[in-house]
Amino acid sequence: MGTKGAHAHIDKMEIAIKPGKNGEIIYKPVFSNTNAESIAWKKATNKLDDYLSNPRNKAKVVDYLENAKVRWPRKGAEWNHLQKALKKHDIVKGKLGKMKKIGC
């Protein structure tokens, strides 16, 4: 089992960026102690939306994912989906993904 999608570090938050259904872009906290309802999380994901909505920045991320496929070929399929999702949207607005419940 490995990481799906990519990670971004913004304002001391680590955000997982994943492809969703119908070309959606999904954000999830990487660490379970991150409160996805907090103001800090919302500010960080808004900054990520702004960053990914800039065509130059989006192109950098898409290129980075393309180059990463050479190093980690088993992740190529999921990164293809993320690249397509990023290219699909002029304005990126990530959605909070469902969190896994831990414990019984």
54-89 residue pLDDT tens: 999 999 999 999 998 888 888 888 889 999 999 998
Domain count, the chain: 1
**In one letter, which amino acid is 72?**
W
In a domain, 101, yes or no: no
Instruction: Report the chain's mean pLDDT, rounded to a whole number.
Output: 88
Tell me whether residue 1 is in a domain: no
For residue 98, what pLDDT is reported? Answer: 74
SS (H, E, C) 39-94: HHHHHHHHHHHHHHHCHHHHHHHHHHHHHHHHHCHHHHHHHHHHHHHHHHCCCCCC
CA gap 98, 13 in Å, rounded: 18
**pLDDT tens-place string over residues 21-46:** 888 999 999 998 999 999 999 999 99
104: in domain: no
What pLDDT score does 61 carry? 94
Range of 70's domain?
Answer: 6-95
Residue 10 lies in a domain: yes
Please report whether residue 70 resides in a domain. yes
